[in-house]
């Protein structure tokens, strides 16, 4: 059995390394990490795939998502045989060298922090475009927007920015490390509560892609949320402050501050459902503007913070989570969201997988039982 486990882990490492390498297929050509012939040849090879062989790139992406999902399910079923912390640490050591290929938010975080630590101005007031002489603007997007997130997130990202002293590579690696530390914190806390929850979180494809690789701050928010839930039974005041800090990362997590142990299932049920449909409600009119206003896939990362509260329903939402990752199809296949009705196609994929997931919940007896349990029953918190 030990040999089989070693083979499984080696194969998983290969998949993770493939993901890290693949992420550079869509690197912005204006970004320079190193000036070395080997690096230049590598970039030439992967850029050829990402920008000029987009159909192949999409196929590679689907294969990677499929493999990550298979390993995720395998680890959940054999959760007693694996150490979540060791797996999470291994994942971190590999994906720290990945590039945020499906979003430019991570690079924007870096520059917003640089405005404060390097230019000594307020990022809520100053915009990247105000520093038009900065070389980072060659690859930055949304340069006319000031910092849009909560003050807690700003306090977190200025630390790696200050340590990097304005150097792009250092800033990139230090901020990646910051995200990894919060990821490891979440896995560590979940393991103290339940090993299965920790395995689910540590290997979840949405966490790996949108949390660690693309580096969305929802990962930090959900890590603080999990810590707050863990302390809810032991240190009420500290727990509330941490949950409030989670809201200070991204205001989308506001409903989590109302979590309570008193009649907790009834309350949290509605909080959970509100967070599930909130990205859709952000559309001005669901039917009128469905194809005009974008639903961002990483909004749903917060749902994984509910593992300690309703694991049964969370694990049954895997089809929805996979659909969220596959919704990047227009961007990977065509290069942007404008061509071939990219945003409407993205939303159709998300809504289609959400409906399919709901139908499965009703048709599969075990899943239907979990759904009914979630909607009608109460259970004691297992912390």
Q: Give tens-digit pLDDT for 68-85.
A: 999 999 999 999 999 999
Condensed to tens digits (0 to 9), the pLDDT of residues 132-172 reads 899 999 999 889 999 988 899 999 999 999 999 989 999 99
- With respect to residue 382, please indicate whether it lies within any of the assigned structural domains: no
- With respect to residue 355, please indicate whether it lies within any of the assigned structural domains: yes
What is the span of the domain harbouring residue 246? 2-376
Taking residues 310-337, what's their average pLDDT?
A: 90
Note the residue count of the chain: 383
Those residues with Cβ within 8 angstroms of residue 228's Cβ, 6 or more apart along the chain or in another chain: 239, 240, 242, 243, 245, 246, 256, 259
Three state DSSP letters for 304-354: HHHHHHHHHHHHCCHHHHHHHHHCCHHHHHHCCCCCCCHHHHHHHHHHHHH
Helix (H) or strand (E) holding 42: helix 37-52
Taking residues 26-32, what's their average pLDDT?
A: 90
What pLDDT is attached to residue 291?
45
Rounded distance between C-alpha atoms, residue 360 and residue 370, angstroms? 12
Alpha helices by DSSP H, 194-296? 195-203, 205-206, 218-231, 236-247, 264-281
- With respect to residue 118, please indicate whether it lies within any of the assigned structural domains: yes
- With respect to residue 383, please indicate whether it lies within any of the assigned structural domains: no
Those residues with Cβ within 8 angstroms of residue 67's Cβ, 6 or more apart along the chain or in another chain: 15
Rounded distance between C-alpha atoms, residue 97 and residue 223, angstroms? 21
Query: How many structural domains is the chain composed of?
Result: 1
- With respect to residue 164, please indicate whether it lies within any of the assigned structural domains: yes
- With respect to residue 381, please indicate whether it lies within any of the assigned structural domains: no
């Amino acid at each position: 059995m030990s040999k089989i486990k070693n083979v499984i882990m080696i194969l998983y490492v290969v998949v993770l390394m493939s993901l890290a390498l693949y992420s550079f297929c869509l690197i912005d050509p204006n970004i320079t990490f190193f000036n070395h012939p080997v690096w230049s040849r590598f970039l030439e090879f992967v850029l050829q795939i990402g920008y000029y062989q987009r159909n192949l790139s999409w196929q590679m992406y689907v294969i990677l998502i499929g493999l990550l999902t298979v390993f995720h399910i395998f680890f959940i079923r054999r959760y007693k045989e694996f150490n979540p912390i060791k797996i999470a640490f291994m994942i971190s050591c590999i994906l720290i060298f990945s590039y945020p290929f499906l979003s430019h938010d991570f690079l924007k975080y870096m520059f917003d922090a640089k405005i404060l630590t390097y230019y000594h101005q307020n990022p809520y007031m100053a915009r990247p475009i105000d520093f038009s002489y900065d070389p980072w603007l060659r690859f930055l997007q949304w340069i006319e927007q000031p910092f849009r997130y909560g003050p807690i997130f700003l306090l977190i990202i200025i630390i790696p920015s200050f340590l990097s002293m304005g150097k792009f590579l250092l800033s990139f690696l230090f901020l990646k490390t910051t995200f990894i530390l919060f990821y490891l914190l979440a896995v560590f806390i979940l393991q103290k509560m339940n090993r299965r929850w920790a395995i689910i979180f540590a290997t979840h494809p949405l966490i790996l892609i949108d949390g660690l690789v693309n580096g969305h701050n929802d990962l930090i928010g959900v890590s603080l949320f999990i810590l707050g839930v863990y302390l809810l039974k032991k240190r009420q005041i500290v727990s509330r402050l941490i949950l409030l800090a989670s809201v200070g990362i991204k205001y989308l997590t506001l409903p989590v501050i109302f979590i309570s142990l008193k009649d907790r299932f009834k309350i949290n049920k509605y909080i959970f459902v509100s967070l599930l449909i909130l990205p859709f409600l952000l559309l001005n009119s669901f039917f009128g503007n469905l194809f005009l206003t974008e639903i961002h896939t990483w909004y749903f990362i917060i749902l994984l913070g509910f593992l300690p509260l309703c694991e049964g329903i969370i694990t049954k939402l895997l089809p929805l989570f996979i659909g969220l990752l596959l919704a990047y199809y227009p961007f990977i296949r065509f290069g942007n969201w404008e061509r071939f009705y990219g945003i409407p196609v993205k939303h159709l994929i998300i809504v289609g997988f959400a409906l399919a997931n709901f139908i499965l919940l009703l048709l599969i007896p075990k899943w239907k039982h979990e759904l009914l349990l979630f909607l009608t029953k109460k259970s004691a918190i297992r912390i």
